[in-house]
Amino acid sequence: MFIAVISRDVPGGKVGFWPVAEQRQYVRNSRYHQRGDPYWSDLSCDGAFFCRTLDVDILPACEKHGIRILQMDNARPHIVNNLDASIAEVMARHPTVQLLLQPPQSPDLNPLEEGIFKVLVDKVELKNPTTRHELHEAVLQSWEELSERKIRGCIQHQTRVRRQIVDCRGGHRHIHMARITCSWCRYLTSTPSTPVTVTLSLKCVIIVVILLVLYTIALIMFLELRHSNIYHTPSIHKHQKLDSIYPSLVSAASSYGSFQQNAGDDHGSSSTQRYHYGIVIDCGSSGSRVYVYQWPTHSGNPNELLYITQLRETSGEPVVKKITPGLSTFASNPSAASKYLHPLLSYAAKNIPEVKHSETLLYILATAGMRVLPASAQASILEELQTSIPKYFKFVVAKNNFEVITGKQEGVYGWIAVNYILNKFAHGIEDHPLVVVDVSSQTGSVTPHIRRRTVGVIDMGGGSMQIAFEVTKSVKFDFTKEDLAKDLMAEFNLGCRSFDLDHNYQLYVSTFLGFGANSARRRYEEMLLNDGTNSSQGFDKLSPVPDPCLPLGLLYTSATNTQQKTFFIGLGDYALCRRNLFPLLNVTVPCQKKPCSMNGIYQSDINFHNSEFYGFSEFWYSMEDVYRIGGHYNADIFDKISIKHCSTRWAKLEEWFLKKLYPKSDILRLKLQCFKAAWMSLVLHDGLKFPRTYRHFYSTQKIDGKDVQWTLGALIHRTRYLPLREIEQMSPHQKGHASNWNFNHSYHFYYEYLIGEIQRHLFAIVTIQ
């Protein structure tokens, strides 16, 4: 996938800027004025903002997806004027990505995107699908309608386009690009007024010939595979890979509206019969939420997981509803617990076809609030729910479907949800880094296994923080001395077969109570008050406690656990703030098993050279609400912005706030931003030991526009055995297909990989001798 940054002159001498959103491919060419919507609608920006966005958003996105070339349009109306030095400085900070200026026709060099799949998208559009199921059927039907002649014509057209590119002339406007050459254009040290005629050396000609031969082989493989059972197996699950195999098709189809099936429109229809439903109620400390999910009938392929998605209302909004207070408040009156949940269950029932109620799975899973109750109180509430709910609702209610889950389970479920949405549990090699994992086989031996690399998850809330990531190397424990460390490991299988190596995972999961942002602030304030030489300091506005973690000049009023008001005056010193916070990490506590992170807790080794982590909640708020740099994390940039923010006088920050320059922040967030930024950075680097040079950490609130909830992971894990029914019901002929699935699947994705490599090399930089 290539990222194109398209710029052009607009009235006022500013630059219109369209960066590419993650996992989307926007293409600009001579036929289509602009593919896709602008990232910021109708936004004009000056050159400084252009460079900052390039530095903070676009180049980190390139690094995240392993993109080595950033292509910019070199057409005359699109050239960024007077930014040569600034762009060179930005590129120097991202040495793994090279900037390549291309003629305006270069985006057309994608035979799949602008050829075959453009034809496919047009065919799908004519069928006007309105639901996910109709879209699936339209894609299959349109794909079968494509003739070999049409496909050959699309690819042959690209040969003519490539020839035109080779014959083109042009010049770089950026002197620092003098060292960069490409296989069809050579721009050396030319100036805008001195075009250079393209000359291809013998080496380049040989490379082009080899690539064309490979391309021909790939075409033959493509035509053969088109008639193989991989395209004809009646499986709705092969569309799960549309996001990775056919990015433009999914992007174009998304314009039709929501993919989700509207249950209320299809009651009793054949498409509804093929869908199954599950309900998960998250009973937290402050309230309970219901989430409704759906999935089509499993294909019977033992290598595939269920394709579970969140059910949506006719408005397109997800089926979610919250009530208060928390379930734990009924400890003294368990008989009222089922009535309390009635509004959530009725809401879910309304959105699920009535004919499916008797087979809809219901899970009621309680977390933090219920954990603190005595075991007897927990049992009473769960027993009441188990007895009363079946009287009013026909949902499937098994005894183990209602339980209080541990923090470790919640962490595992959250990790599963994130990686499921990122498509890390699927097979294939396209657009996904790989990793070698030590997996325990059926015989108990450890076997190296290659599969997609999963991502780690760090979630910092108000009261606690949790980290979960896959352990790729087997770890041995001394059961007599290291039992606490072993308890931090979780091994499970997401496949329906216990010996499924592709879906066998070992996680490290650890929860740090008191390390959430709000709890850390309370501990910090108590430390400042206890360290004061004057016992009365801090309890009077006239003698506030100096606090380097608050903006310069801010008089901040707080309340400790004694509800006594305390006063702090901001010093605005970010570096001193981090030093003052360091003791709260408790990194000097004796360690049961090395290495340890905080509180003497064992932390499994992290391969910082081949890993990726996502930070949620406070990691996102600290980077985005005030700084507006949410996404790719760069320690140097984050600290530089934090130093400037903390040292800015509060009067100026408040003035900017009143002018609505911080639209995502409230006043309390603005006051505590300096503290929370320092705490977030300190925990990440000094507590969890992430190197400051680590470039694969991303803060996020949503993934692919979807809220990530641990409830999805819980449903994926608890329904993992459901496909067994479809597998057993497969006919002998289908089982024969399934037995050959691994070969066909690998062959299919090898073709995908080969096509991708050919496209990548056609755009690659080749040094012409």
Which CA distances in Å does 704 have to 251, 408, 700? 12, 26, 10
pLDDT of residue 12: 40
pLDDT grade, residue 429 (50/70/90)?
A: low
- pTM score > 0.75 for this model? no
pLDDT of residue 2: 41
Catalytic residue numbers? 410
pLDDT of residue 192: 36
Q: Are 56 and 632 in contact (CB under 8 A)?
A: yes
- DSSP bridge pairs for 557: 567
pLDDT grade, residue 125 (50/70/90)?
A: confident
How many other CB atoms are found less than 10 A from the CB of residue 541? 10
Distance between CA atoms of 611 and 452, rounded to whole angstroms? 11
Torsion of CA 179, 78, 114, 220, to 10 degrees: -10
Average pLDDT, the chain: 74
pLDDT of residue 182: 35
Distance between CA atoms of 409 and 279, rounded to whole angstroms? 18
Q: Which structure tokens are listed for 757? A: 């490599």
Greatest mean pLDDT range, 435-449, 491-505, 617-631: 617-631
The angle formed by the CA atoms of residues 584, 588 and 589, to the nearest 5 degrees, is: 95
Helix, strand, coil abundance in the chain, percent, nearest 5: 45, 20, 40
Q: Is 600 annotated as a binding residue?
A: no
Q: Which structure tokens are listed for 68? A: 């080595």
Q: Give CATH superfamily name and number for 266-405.
A: ATPase, nucleotide binding domain (3.30.420.40)
pLDDT of residue 203: 55
pLDDT of residue 662: 93
pLDDT tens track for 358-373: 999 999 999 988 998 9
Distance between CA atoms of 692 and 702, rounded to whole angstroms? 25
Distance between CA atoms of 322 and 338, rounded to whole angstroms? 15
pLDDT of residue 512: 93
With helix as H, strand as E and coil as C, how does 683-750 read?
Answer: HHHHHCCCCCCCCCEEECCEECCEECCHHHHHHHHHCCCCHHHHHHCCCHHHHHHHHCHHHHHHHHHH
Buried b or exposed e, range 7-46, using 16+ CB within 10 angstroms: bbeeeeeebbbbbbbbbbbbbbbeeeeebbeebeeeeebe
The answer for residues whose C-beta is within 8 angstroms of residue 208's C-beta and 6 or more apart is: 183, 200
Q: Is 466 annotated as a binding residue?
A: yes
Q: Is 260 annotated as a binding residue?
A: no
Distance between CA atoms of 588 and 601, rounded to whole angstroms? 11
Lowest mean pLDDT among 535-549, 598-612, 658-672: 535-549
Q: Is the pLDDT of residue 758 over 50?
A: no
pLDDT grade, residue 228 (50/70/90)?
A: very low
* Stated length of the chain: 769
Q: Is the pLDDT of residue 73 over 50?
A: yes
The DSSP secondary structure of 524-584, one letter per residue, reads: HHHHHHHH-SSTTTTSSTTSPEEETTS-BT-EEEEE-TT--EEEEEE---HHHHHHHHGGG
How many other CB atoms are found less than 10 A from the CB of residue 182? 22
Greatest mean pLDDT range, 183-197, 268-282, 661-675, 726-740: 661-675
Q: Is the pLDDT of residue 765 over 80?
A: no
Q: Is the pLDDT of residue 437 over 70?
A: yes
pLDDT of residue 538: 78
- DSSP bridge pairs for 275: 296
pLDDT of residue 535: 66
Kindly state the helix (H) or strand (E) to which residue 463 belongs, with its residue range.
Answer: none
Cis-peptide, bond into residue 11, ω within 30° of zero = no
With helix as H, strand as E and coil as C, how does 410-452 read?
Answer: HHHHHHHHHHHHCCCCCCCCCCCCEEEEEEECCCCCEEEEEEE
At 81 the three-state DSSP class reads coil
pLDDT of residue 160: 60
Distance between CA atoms of 289 and 348, rounded to whole angstroms? 11
pLDDT of residue 120: 77
Kindly state the helix (H) or strand (E) to which residue 516 belongs, with its residue range.
Answer: none
- DSSP bridge pairs for 288: 283, 323
Greatest mean pLDDT range, 47-61, 273-287, 558-572: 273-287
pLDDT grade, residue 721 (50/70/90)?
A: confident
The answer for residues whose C-beta is within 8 angstroms of residue 488's C-beta and 6 or more apart is: 408, 508, 509, 510, 601, 602, 604
Q: Quick one: average pLDDT of 695-708?
A: 90
pLDDT of residue 130: 72
pLDDT of residue 614: 97
How many other CB atoms are found less than 10 A from the CB of residue 48? 10
Q: Which residue is associated with the tokens 């984050």?
A: 638
pLDDT of residue 754: 44
Q: Is 462 annotated as a binding residue?
A: yes
Lowest mean pLDDT among 22-31, 332-341, 627-636: 22-31
Q: Which residue is associated with the tokens 């009023």?
A: 557
pLDDT of residue 294: 96
pLDDT grade, residue 139 (50/70/90)?
A: confident
Residue spans of alpha helices (H) in 146-246: 148-166, 202-225, 229-232, 242-245
Q: Is 604 annotated as a binding residue?
A: no
Which CA distances in Å does 290 have to 32, 296, 329, 334, 365? 44, 21, 18, 20, 10
In the chain, list all ranges with CATH 3.30.420.40.
266-405
